[in-house]
């Protein structure tokens, strides 16, 4: 049984990675329905939290049906991170997670996210301050290192465990790689198989199918797998991976009708959480992801991304479903 603190996650948890502008409550609801064992929020700016910024505060929204759930935050200043951890604790997540992996320049330039990989002493010091500031289990998500010449994750993992970090998720790329190339799980395996390591180690990067999840589980011995980009527009990935891990059963691809129903539910929850105007606007990028690989869908998608009314959007989806039922669409091409 894999545990973070007292939180039991099953024998081999399949986890939703924190993703900016993706892993909000509407999307998390669909991932939970499809079997995600643990989910993390979008990452939240510590500076935004201590300044009571509306967008940062809204990202603290969590719901009981999501549990266990972790709130992830980032920052490069110890005082801000400590204050933020105390703010987060009041919301009562199951886990508080520190982002030391985001590679985008606007985060890195503040020595936050993956930027702190340039100063491991500060990374450890900041993490220790957060651990001291909360009674919640603290976990960390990070990368192999800053660049090819500084892949020091084995040492970093030991140091983080030694100060009380209770689980570690490792993305198999350096900051310099961003999301390019293939994730290298070799060092993730070294961390997990280091006899000094006792905390759960979760691997992240390029897991997009049940067979690959099982292969990496067996090859690298990790305690669980974290899925990010493969879940975008495809929350069924959790059900498929878990089924294959259990007994190599292959869950069929979702039908076009199931994809349309997922869009409807996602839109409904987006409007509930963000309000109609913003809920519709922020849903637009998701249409492409949900409808990916469906031939001849472009005219419908074009209408969806300019629609301003829930009724109009649902009518377009109904028209699409009608065409599907008439047999006017071929199988999905993935």
Residues with catalytic roles: 102
Please list, residue by residue across 69-105, b when 16 or more beta carbons sit within 10 angstroms of its beta carbon and e when fewer do: bbbbbbbbbbebbbbbbebbeeeebbbbbbbbbbbee
CA–CA dist 185, 220 (Å, integer): 7
How many residues does this entry show for the chain?
Answer: 334
Reduced DSSP (H G I as helix, E B as strand, rest coil) percent helix, strand, coil of the chain, to 5:
50, 15, 40
CA–CA dist 166, 38 (Å, integer): 15
8 A C-beta contact, residue 127 and residue 161: no
8 A C-beta contact, residue 101 and residue 172: no
Task: Kindly give, in sequence order, each residue whose CB lies less than 8 Å from that of residue 19, ignoring residues fewer than 6 positions away.
Answer: 42, 228, 229, 232
8 A C-beta contact, residue 170 and residue 204: yes
8 A C-beta contact, residue 201 and residue 4: no
CA–CA dist 193, 187 (Å, integer): 10
- Bridge partners (DSSP) listed for residue 97: 72, 139
Tokens (6 digits) for 48 = 């935004």
CA–CA dist 74, 102 (Å, integer): 9
Tokens (6 digits) for 138 = 């603290």
């Amino acid at each position: 049984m894999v545990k973070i603190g007292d939180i039991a996650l099953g024998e081999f948890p399949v986890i939703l990675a924190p993703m900016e502008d993706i892993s909000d409550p509407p999307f998390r609801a669909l991932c939970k329905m499809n079997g995600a064992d643990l989910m993390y929020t979008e990452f939240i700016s510590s500076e935004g939290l201590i300044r009571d910024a509306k967008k940062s505060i809204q990202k603290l929204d969590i719901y009981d049906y999501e549990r266990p759930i972790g709130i992830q935050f980032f920052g490069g200043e110890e005082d801000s991170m400590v204050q933020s951890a105390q703010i987060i604790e009041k919301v009562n997540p199951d886990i508080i997670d520190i982002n030391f992996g985001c590679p985008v320049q606007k985060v890195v330039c503040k020595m936050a996210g993956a930027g702190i990989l340039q100063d491991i002493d500060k990374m450890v010091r900041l993490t220790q301050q957060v651990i001291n500031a909360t009674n919640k289990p603290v976990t960390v998500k990070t990368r192999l290192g800053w660049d090819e010449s500084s892949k020091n994750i084995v040492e970093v993992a030991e140091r983080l465990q030694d100060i009380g970090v209770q689980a570690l998720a490792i993305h198999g790329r350096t900051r310099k790689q961003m999301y390019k190339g293939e994730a290298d799980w070799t060092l993730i395996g070294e961390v997990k198989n280091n006899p000094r390591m006792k905390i759960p180690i979760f691997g992240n990067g390029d897991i997009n199918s049940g067979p690959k999840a099982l292969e990496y589980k067996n090859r690298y011995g990790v305690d669980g797998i974290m899925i990010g980009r493969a879940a975008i527009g495809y929350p069924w990935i959790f059900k498929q991976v878990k089924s294959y891990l259990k007994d190599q059963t292959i869950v069929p691809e979702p039908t076009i009708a199931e994809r349309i129903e997922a869009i409807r539910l996602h839109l409904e929850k987006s409007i509930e959480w963000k309000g109609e105007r913003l809920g519709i606007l922020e849903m637009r990028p998701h249409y492409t992801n949900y409808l990916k690989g469906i031939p001849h869908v472009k005219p419908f998608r074009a209408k969806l991304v300019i629609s301003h009314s829930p009724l109009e959007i649902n009518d377009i989806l109904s028209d699409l479903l009608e065409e599907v039922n008439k047999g006017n669409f071929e199988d999905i091409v993935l």
